[in-house]
Amino acid sequence: MSSTTPDMPDLAPRFARAKFRSWHRGTREADYMIGGFYDAYHADWSERELAWFEALLDEDDVEIMAWALKSEPTPDALAGELMAKMQLLDYVTIGAHHKA
């Protein structure tokens, strides 16, 4: 039974889709970076943060990785608290925990 109300949609399908998309980017590096970010932070996200992440997932991996590594400036639409968290994530630690 769903605990949603008309003003509080069930976000579970969107979270599941975002998780899949974050871990199936096409390269191991992007999977670790984007999927690792999802795993580290999604539990605290509201619909607003989830919408931000969905918008991020629509971008090219090379761009996302450049913004996360601060080698390119982040577009205003994606800049902010969540991108700042992505830029602080320890990607070496993430990679060490996921074995292919």
Please report the pLDDT score of residue 1 as a whole number. 41
Q: Residues of the chain whose pLDDT is less than 50?
A: 1-6, 100
Angle at 79 between CA 67 and CA 65, to 5 degrees: 15
Query: Could you tell me what percentage of the chain is helix, strand and coil, using 3-state DSSP and rounding each to the nearest 5?
Result: 65, 0, 35
Residue 31 CA to residue 61 CA, distance in Å, equals 9
Residue 89 CA to residue 61 CA, distance in Å, equals 16
